[in-house]
């Protein structure tokens, strides 16, 4: 609820004011049990920062995070460590997130030790069980991360996230570093695990095709704000926000009967962020005067479909 993360900008010498970078600036959404909520946007839109704040790997500047009725930002460090048993993260680069000097067995056992689960013998059994659950073999337990392919390493990363029997998995670009041929295997594995283990996913990606494949609902972020949130089908078939239309028009269209609406935009995301109004207004072909001064709020304009754009202000009345 209203999550924010502001970082101080690198200070210029003799400058008295500290400018801030608003990496995430007032993002609110819900995730329902058993669903996959996709979060998409270009790099730098704040999607990873949002995921890390939910895990409290990054402290929010402001805002609240409710998980099964518990407000996570109010928990002490040790209480949060306990809560992390239910919330786990899968990272983009499994190689960087797996200790190269530890065997797979040790890597997978670690979360069990941290949370005081099982004795040594039981933990070793669980490691074997989870290796099989993610499609690896028990003899892989004694090997080191470098002895695996990228896809296998991501399976280990997923197994590690599952060891504590979590409810929510936040997957930050889990297949972006993998070959396209391997991506589908890992996505299919994640979908099977979701059904078998009753998991809820927040699936972060810049690739709209991947997100469509796995998500029930999708949120689109732009410069630290959520600009559209909808059921997967209505987002892809009837995108409302001009920025979502831009994102979709750069995606290959598999169905030739689908007429995508081409939206041309000016400039790119790296241009300076406007101080007022809709953050997309310098690039938006539909911008009017109001867009330069008033921030559009994310509002539901159709059942299950919310958008932050002044073009839809009237749909409210």
Residues lying near ligand SF4 in the complex (CB under 6 A): 241-242, 278, 280-281, 284, 286-287, 291, 296, 309-311
**Least distance CB 242 / ligand SF4 (angstroms):** 5
48 binds, among ligand SF4, Mg ion, none (CB under 5 to 8 A by kind): Mg ion
User: Residue with structure tokens 């029930």?
Assistant: 216
Furthest C-alpha separation in the chain:
68
* 48 or 215: CB nearest Mg ion: 48
DSSP letters for 203-246: EEES-HHHHHHH-SEEEEEETTEEEEEEEHHHHHHS--SHHHHH
242 binds, among ligand SF4, Mg ion, none (CB under 5 to 8 A by kind): ligand SF4
**Least distance CB 278 / ligand SF4 (angstroms):** 3
Pairing of strands 225-231, 217-222: antiparallel
36 binds, among ligand SF4, Mg ion, none (CB under 5 to 8 A by kind): none
187 binds, among ligand SF4, Mg ion, none (CB under 5 to 8 A by kind): none
Residue 138 has a CB neighbour count (10 Å cut-off) of: 14
**Least distance CB 54 / ligand SF4 (angstroms):** 26
**Least distance CB 48 / Mg ion (angstroms):** 3
Rounded CA-CA distance 204/172 in Å is: 5
DSSP E strand boundaries for the chain: 3-8, 20-27, 36-40, 66-67, 70-71, 87-90, 168-172, 200-205, 217-222, 225-231, 299-302, 305-307
| Stretch 240-269: interaction string toward Mg ion, x if CB under 5 A | ------------------------------
Which residues lie across from 25 on neighbouring strands? 4
Judged by CB under 5 A, the chain residues 30 through 59 that form the site for Mg ion are 48
User: What residue ranges bind Mg ion (CB under 5 A)?
Assistant: 48
């Amino acid at each position: 609820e209203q999550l924010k993360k502001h970082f101080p900008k690198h200070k210029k010498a003799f400058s008295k004011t500290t400018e801030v970078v608003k990496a995430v600036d007032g993002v609110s959404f819900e995730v329902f049990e058993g669903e996959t909520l996709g979060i998409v946007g270009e790099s730098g839109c704040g999607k990873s920062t949002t995921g890390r704040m939910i895990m409290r790997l990054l402290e929010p500047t402001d805002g609240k995070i409710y998980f099964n009725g518990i407000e996570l930002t109010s928990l002490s460090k040790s209480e949060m460590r306990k809560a992390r048993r239910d919330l786990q993260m899968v990272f983009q680069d499994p190689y960087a997130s797996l200790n190269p000097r530890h065997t797979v067995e040790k890597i997978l056992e670690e979360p069990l030790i941290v949370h005081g689960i099982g004795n040594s013998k039981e933990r070793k059994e669980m490691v074997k069980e989870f290796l099989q659950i993610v499609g690896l073999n028990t003899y892989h337990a004694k090997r080191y991360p470098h002895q695996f392919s990228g896809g296998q390493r991501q399976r280990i990363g997923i197994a590690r996230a599952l060891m504590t029997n979590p409810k929510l998995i936040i997957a930050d670009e889990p297949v972006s570093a993998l070959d396209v041929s391997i991506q589908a295997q890992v996505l299919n594995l994640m979908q099977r695990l979701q059904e078998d283990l009753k998991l809820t996913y927040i699936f972060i990606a810049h690739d709209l095709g991947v997100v469509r494949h796995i998500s029930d609902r999708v949120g689109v972020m732009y410069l630290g704000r959520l600009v559209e949130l909808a059921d997967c089908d209505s987002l892809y078939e009837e995108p409302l926000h001009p920025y979502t239309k831009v994102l979709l028009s750069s995606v290959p269209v598999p169905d030739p009967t689908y007429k995508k609406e081409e939206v041309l935009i000016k400039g790119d995301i790296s241009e300076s962020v406007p101080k007022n109004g809709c953050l997309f207004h310098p690039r938006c072909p539909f911008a009017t005067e109001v867009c330069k001064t008033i921030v559009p709020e994310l509002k539901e304009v159709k059942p299950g479909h919310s958008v932050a754009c002044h073009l839809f202000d009237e749909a409210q009345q």
